[in-house]
Amino acid sequence: MLNLFWRIFLSFWVSLLIFILAGTWLGKSLNADNKVLPLNPLQTDFVRRFRPGNTSISLHHLQKMVYNKQNHKPVKKIWLLDKSGQQNAHSKLPQAVTRLWEMISLHGKTEPSVYRSDHSLWFGPLKIDTAVGPRWLIIETDIVRALDSRNFYSHPLFRLLILIVASIAAALLVSRFLTRPIKQLQSTVKQLTHDLSARPNNRLLKRNDELGKLANQINEMAETIEKLLNSQQQILWDVSHELRSPLARIQTTLAIAEQQNNPQKALQRLNNEVIILNQMISQLLLLGRLNAEIQKINREPVPLKNLLQHIHEDMKLENSQPLNITLSMDEKIDVYGDPVLLSSLFGNLMRNAREHNPPGTAIVVLANEDKDHTEIIFRDQGQGVNPSRLEQLFQPFHRGSINSTGLGLGLTIVQNIVKQHHGTIELKNCYETSPSGEKNEICRGFEVIICLPKPAE
């Protein structure tokens, strides 16, 4: 399909050509070239001047009169024909003279007519009685407005007028062609200010030119904004719900503490709830900075195994339960990125794996690298996740199972950190394989595969 530029170009010139041809045809029709027409009153008066006063005149006097009148403008020449329609035996008559003579010889018309060619007017045949028999005059003149008002249509100004009218008409067509879809897009954008469900019509979306692309981009933009606002509203509702729960527990604990002589247990519980609130607010702030792309990233090589060991030690302090993690990687493997964000990235993955890993089993972290990328795999031995819900795990406050005790922000933060580092992340279930190599339906764990790029050398 042609793009918008060529559509405008061709539509303008095709329209202009059509109107010029139509105007030319109209001018030709009005000028009535090469047609025999009856005389109008002005032409009748002009022809009457060539009729002698006497009813009969000698041929000599008639020839003399013809000779004298040929020297006066606008007359160019006078043809004197005999009853056979010839001026003399050896002369060849012009087409106009022949056409006028046919009005007598073929159609039996006795009154003079007018014939218009490109450069002359022809009047006749005018019958003159002479002593030797009837003769007929055909008068050729210049095309003057006094004899032919239609001369206006061959004037250069009239042709200029045709061009002006044609260009205006072509401009109107092109303007309508352009402004109609633009107005429709303008109306859609205006509706989007108060109705995010507004969309460009299907006819615009199906166009294959720049306006069609613009309509599709507006459509995609509206869908993205609608999803984003709906997501923000859902996040606001979820945040309110998540904050209300620990606050309600704090309020209940304080009420109980007022009724007890030993508030130590209540204080410990209050401290735990405050820690939960602090973690939630920290994660929300980090998520907000990542989404707004205002989180400063300091890229540097970070020893991967050393980083994971530090995170492991910190997690032991957070929870009294034993945490079994197997780190299967070369100590020389580095990841390139922000140390603080990478610590948050791998810490969230470890906490998520610990929550879903059965007691007594190990969390496995694998790593390998090539010249361009470093791949890190976190694998637990839990029950996995329903495949239809894998992509939903990246949504804020979405939990993998109803028994999950986390906030539902971990994988959302993980995904944003990976994107900030221009990496990729993949979630998948691990299935048992039979001795023949076929995959069974029994899920034996969950994997998070992260691929981070290395800096160009």
Q: Which tens digit of pLDDT belongs to each residue from 250-281?
A: 777 777 776 766 667 777 777 767 766 776 67
- Give a yes or no: residue 23 inside a domain: yes
CB-CB neighbours of 97 under 10 Å = 24
- Give a yes or no: residue 208 inside a domain: no
Alpha-helix residue ranges (DSSP H) falling in 319-399: 339-356
Q: Which of 319, 322, 321 is nearest to 272 (CA)?
A: 319
Fill in the amino acid letter for 10: L
- C-alpha angle with apex 116: 114 to 117, nearest 5 degrees? 145
Average pLDDT for 406-411: 67
Mark whether 89 and 220 lie in a shared domain: no
**pLDDT per position as a tens digit, 37-94:** 888 888 888 888 888 876 677 777 877 887 777 767 888 888 888 888 787 655 678 8
- Give a yes or no: residue 93 inside a domain: yes
For the entire predicted model, the pTM comes to 0.46
Please give the pLDDT value at position 4: 60
Mark whether 331 and 413 lie in a shared domain: yes
Question: What is the DSSP-derived secondary structure letter of residue 409?
Answer: -
Mark whether 391 and 321 lie in a shared domain: yes
Mark whether 408 and 344 lie in a shared domain: yes
Distance CA 271, CA 30 (A): 101
Please give the pLDDT value at position 376: 93
Please give the pLDDT value at position 451: 93
- Contact of 151 with 145, CB cutoff 8 Å: yes
**Domains identified in the chain, total number:** 4
- Of the listed ranges 15-29, 114-128, 130-144, the least confidently predicted one is 15-29
Last residue of a domain, one of 107, 136, 154: 154
Mark whether 58 and 168 lie in a shared domain: no
Mark whether 324 and 449 lie in a shared domain: yes
Mark whether 274 and 328 lie in a shared domain: no
- Give a yes or no: residue 201 inside a domain: no
Say which residue, 382 or 175, is predicted with more confidence. 382
**Domain encompassing residue 97:** 32-154
Distance CA 47, CA 415 (A): 100
Mark whether 162 and 150 lie in a shared domain: no
- Give a yes or no: residue 206 inside a domain: no
Please give the pLDDT value at position 290: 63
Distance CA 314, CA 37 (A): 111
- Give a yes or no: residue 102 inside a domain: yes
Mark whether 183 and 305 lie in a shared domain: no
Over 90: is that where the pLDDT of 439 sits? no
- Give a yes or no: residue 354 inside a domain: yes
Please give the pLDDT value at position 424: 92
Distance CA 49, CA 276 (A): 119
Say which residue, 319 or 49, is predicted with more confidence. 49
Mark whether 150 and 160 lie in a shared domain: no
Please give the pLDDT value at position 366: 92
CB-CB neighbours of 384 under 10 Å = 22
Mark whether 333 and 386 lie in a shared domain: yes
- Give a yes or no: residue 162 inside a domain: yes
SS3 content of the chain, % helix, strand, coil (to 5): 50, 20, 30
Please give the pLDDT value at position 374: 92
The whole-chain average pLDDT of the chain stands at: 77
Over 70: is that where the pLDDT of 7 sits? no
DSSP-assigned letters across all residues of 44-83: HHHHHTTS-SSSSB-HHHHHHHHHHHTTSTTEEEEEEE-T
